Amino acid sequence: MTSPPRASIDARLRQGSVAAVTASADRRSRSSVLGQRTDPGANRPDRDDQSAGVERLLERESYLSEIALLVSGDSGLRVGPVIIEGHRGLGKTALLGAACQIAAEAGCSVLRARVDGLSKDVYRALVDQLSDSCAGSLAQGSGEPASDFANELEQRVRRLLGDGVVIAIDDAQWLDDRCVELLRRLRGLRGRRPRLILGVAPRSAQSPLGPVDLIMSEPGVRVMSLQPLSPGAVATLVEQYLGCFPSDAARAALYRPCYEATDGIPALVFDLLGELATGRAQTLAGSLPDPEKTTSVSVARSVLARLSRLPENATVVLEAVAVAHEPANLALIAAATKLSSVKVGALARVLEAADLVKPDAAGLQMTPLLRRSFYEEIDAKRRTRMHLAIARYLMVSGGGSEQIAEHLVAADPAHRPWVAQELIAAGRHVATKGSYEQAVRYLRRAFAERPAAWDDPVLLLELVRAESHVDSQAAIEHLLRCVDTGADAKHAIGLARQLAVWQEDRDEANGDGPGTGTALRSLLDHMSVLVPNSDAHDTVELNVTRALFASPAAASSAADALRHEIDLIEPRTQAEHKAIALLAVVDSASPGRARSEDTVGAVRRVVLNAQLCSEDPFDCHVWARVLLVFARAGEFGLADQFARHAQAMSESRGLDHGLAEYSLTLAMSLQMQGSLVESSDNARRALAIAGGRWWVRRPEAVACLVANLVDQGRWEEAEALLSASTGLNGECSAFQGASLLEQRGRLRACQGRSDEALSDLLEAGRLAEEAGVDSPTVTIWRSEAALLLARQGSEQEAVRLAEANLDLARRHGADFVVGPALRVAGIVGLEAVRLDRLEESVRLLESSPALLQLATALADLGRAVRLSGRRSP
């Protein structure tokens, strides 16, 4: 058999034949690396053995080309031994198998063996394997087999030299002197020498030379050092094994964690991908597996198998490294294992040689996937003992409080006072840095260690303070317990307010359930009863918060409680100013509570001293609603002036919550005046700033925008906006009624869906009456329902609602409120008074800024005049 020309070899390499033969030759290695699991991509139509081989030899292409050149004999150079050097899992066996296939394609006879480090007679084992490898290609000689295995092997190799011989030995670091002498003897044969390819584990620094080092020191030796895969190569494997991703972000979210979990070691990468592939269906559905938490049974089994061949205490040292998590120095391991530092150092070298640990300047560490998988195999009691021992060592040696706490959190609770004390201190420390999730973990674990802490109001307040940022529901429950156990009233009130502020700015994606708002209201009501004798300022702040977060039916009574706590004539503090402002907002929602001029007068007294732009979202929320009192009283100039000023100030200071609040207030004021385009722009701006986070005024903002779209005849856009706001329609505000439900009713009426429209309007009326909201400047359900009922022939009910609406408007007093009420009463009322009421409506609206209402009244008056037969009004 003659060697193929070099051009033929290069062509096959370019066509992927190396990958193909590598895959077929390395099936045993592939299945062992994957832990005997089925290839996760085996059923994919775009995967075959050829692509699989390429995957397993990523970033090894230059070595394959060089091997092809060396075994072909076309290089013109003296061919020395080829050494494939690399730690466990880097693919020595795969590359050696590919080299054997390349040699076979080049026409060489390949003798391949693997040395077992546990063999009692390495020489005999090697000779047996090499003899078996070439036996099939030679005719058996007559007579009994020779007793000298080396001579027999030499004779057989001589017969193959004409075709070229490649001797490939894996795990050659285990070769002894006799084996090395045999290989050197074979390579000393005259003529065409056998080519030697060895797979070798790297030699540790300062370790003694082994017999194989004599071969590696020969002239012309070629050492191919295997390195871990690059992040890009790991990304390629992730894409090929896990298939499609729901988005680019989801794809990128897996690449880096997979690389970091495996350190780019190919065997571990394939094992991790095999584990993640079991969740491939969830990946396609958008629920990504988490490489940072994944463990592997096969990796754990591999670690345990290697440990079984090492000294007994090696397992104890490796357990300490796994439990330590971070690089562990010898002193820490000695403290955790109660072994001497000298013994630990010796065992560390043994573990390093077995590729179980990696030493660096900071100490010993493990590849994350190895560490997690092995950690799961450690007995729970042993883990706890080691975590506690390491924590004590860190306390003595000056370790950080977070480092200590992480070990204490991982230990099982057992009523140890010192553990609880350390965890509480760590929780306080991380809370000061804003790491509230960590603080909650540490403090909750401290309470598990010391159950009596649940009756300690001071510690409970610490827990609530951290939970308020990450778990509102738990914080509310624990704050209630704080109050019941006698917590300081001032601190409890402050935390209750903080919870309310946090809930106001809460993002729906953070997972708070729909019951959080109800629980918060219960908390505020409960606290108002339990802490009545606290500082006046705090009590006022608490009741302002209560009024804002109370249910619509209870908001008025919550606000009324403030009347007995403040000086309504000469407010002294910002809290009292806010209380008066809030009372004015509540009063403006119903003419029966106070006259319009009185509410405006109260607002004038406090708004000039108000901190309109505050870091506190509640302050902005209160004052933004207060400015609507001006608009409801017809003082549009003042409302718009203050709203624009506060809007500009909020934007300049980067206060998004203030910018959203004042943009909505300006939009609602402009809507009352009929400036629909500018009103819509501000409403959209408010909604855009609020984004996806929870916002108590979102229904009002959507209602304002829907109303503008309906008035402009853009019904399809209004319908689309309502569809996108599903879930908000039935919400009722204590200060604005069920505004969105009313606007949906208006839209349904325009669409000719009268029954649905009337149902929405009557439901909005029921909610508004429960909330005590009946001002025509706030709720429009009576006027809209009256017009619908009149069209359906229910004149008596229509007249009743229209007259009730007109009475409420007259009690309000402003022309821009009475005018529209007269228009509706004229349309649905008796024909004898219809023209008179419509004419009065036009006369009142002509002197008001409500231009859209004036245009509507003029159109209705013109229609009524035409129907009456009169030539002019």
Most confidently predicted of 11-20, 248-257, 816-825: 816-825
Nearest to 330 by CA among 316, 318, 348: 348
Give the per-residue pLDDT at 659: 94
What lies within 8 Å, CB to CB, of 342 at 6+ separation is none
Domain with 152 in it: what CATH number? Answer: 3.40.50.300
Which pLDDT value is given to residue 664? 95
Classify residue 474: in a domain, yes or no: no
- The residue ranking higher by pLDDT, 31 or 170, is 170
Per-residue pLDDT, 657: 86
Within a domain: 389: no
Look up the domain containing 278 and give its range. 231-294
Average pLDDT value for residue range 229-256: 77
The pLDDT mean for the chain works out to 79
Residue finishing a domain among 225, 242, 257 = 225
Burial 55-85 (b: 16+ CB within 10 A, else e): bbbbbbeebbbebbbbbbbbeeeebbbbbbb
Report the C-alpha gap between 292 and 300 in whole angstroms.
16
Distance CA 853, CA 452 (A): 66
* Whether residue 108 is found in the same domain as residue 182: yes
Confidence of residue 320 (pLDDT cuts 50, 70, 90): very high
The answer to whether residue 578 is domain-embedded is yes
pLDDT for residue 608: 78
**How far is the C-alpha of 232 from the C-alpha of 211, rounded, in Å?**
38
User: Has residue 343 got a pLDDT over 90?
Assistant: yes
Looking at the chain, the whole-number percentage of residues with pLDDT higher than 70 is 73
More confident residue, 161 or 654: 654
Residue 356: partners with Cβ closer than 8 Å, 6 or more residues away: 303, 306, 307, 318, 366, 370
Domain-located, residue 365 = no
CA distance 614 to 354: 62
What single-letter DSSP state applies at residue 328?
B
Extract the tokens encoding 497.
């307010």
Q: Is the pLDDT at 533 greater than 60, yes or no?
A: no
Sole residue written with tokens 């004419």: 839
**Within-domain flag for 816:** yes
pLDDT at 34: 26
Contact 475, 464 (CB under 8 A): yes
751 against 178, higher pLDDT = 751
Distance, CA of 98 to CA of 79 (rounded, Å): 18
**221 & 252 share domain:** no
Q: pTM for the whole thing? A: 0.60
Which of 188-202, 439-453, 665-679, 741-755 has the weakest average pLDDT? 188-202
Contact 313, 348 (CB under 8 A): no
| Of 126 and 99, more confident | 99
Residue 210 lies in a domain: yes
Domain boundary among 204, 225, 246: 225
Q: Please determine, for residue 223, whether its predicted confidence score (pLDDT) is greater than 60.
A: yes
Quick one: which of 707, 768, 711 has its CA closest to 735?
768
Give the number of domains in the chain.
4
Residue 38 lies in a domain: yes
| pLDDT bracket for residue 433 (50, 70, 90) | confident
Q: Would you say residue 283 has pLDDT above 70?
A: no
Asked whether the beta carbons of 172 and 198 are under 8 A apart, the reply is yes
Mean pLDDT value across residues 500-514: 45
DSSP E strand boundaries for 202-316: 222-225
The SS3 assignment for 725 reads coil
Residue 529's H or E segment, with its range, is helix 516-530
> How far, in Å, are 61, 71, 187, 188, 222 from residue 79 at the CA level?
20, 8, 11, 13, 9
Query: Of 731, 752, 781, which closes a domain?
Result: 781
Query: What is the residue type of 297?
Result: V
199: phi then psi, degrees, rounded to nearest 5: -95, 125
Closest CA to 802 of 820, 778, 783: 783
**Is residue 822 located within the same domain as residue 755?**
no
**pLDDT at 245 (0 to 100):** 62
Of the pLDDT bands very low, low, confident and very high (cuts 50, 70, 90), residue 31 is very low
Answer for the pair 461, 487: CB distance below 8 angstroms, yes or no.
yes
Assess whether 791 and 868 both reside in one domain. Answer: yes
Q: How high is the pLDDT of residue 20?
A: 35
- Higher-pLDDT residue of 441 and 551 is 441
Distance CA 506, CA 373 (A): 38
Helix, strand, coil in percent for the chain, rounding step 5: 65, 5, 30
**Distance, CA of 771 to CA of 787 (rounded, Å):** 24
Residue 162 pLDDT > 70, yes or no?
A: no
User: Is it the case that residue 520 has pLDDT exceeding 90?
Assistant: no
Whether residues 36 and 102 share a domain: the answer is yes
Over 70: is that where the pLDDT of 510 sits? no
Count H helices, E strands: the chain? 44, 7
Give yes or no: residues 171 and 118 share one domain. Answer: yes
Whether the CB-CB separation of 782 and 765 falls below 8 Å is answered with: yes
Output the domain CATH number for residue 846.
Answer: 1.25.40
More confident residue, 586 or 666: 666
Do residues 647 and 762 share a domain?
yes
What's residue 25's pLDDT?
36
**Nearest alpha-carbon partner for 814 in 777, 852, 786, 840:** 777
The predicted-structure confidence for 645-681, as pLDDT tens digits, reads as follows 999 999 999 998 899 999 999 999 999 999 999 999 9
The model's pLDDT over 685-740, given as tens digits with 9 standing for 90+, comes to: 999 998 877 677 888 999 999 999 999 999 999 999 998 887 666 666 777 778 88
Exposed / middle / buried, residue 606 (Cβ in 10 Å: 0-12, 13-18, 19+): buried
Residue 197, beta-bridge partner list: 82, 168
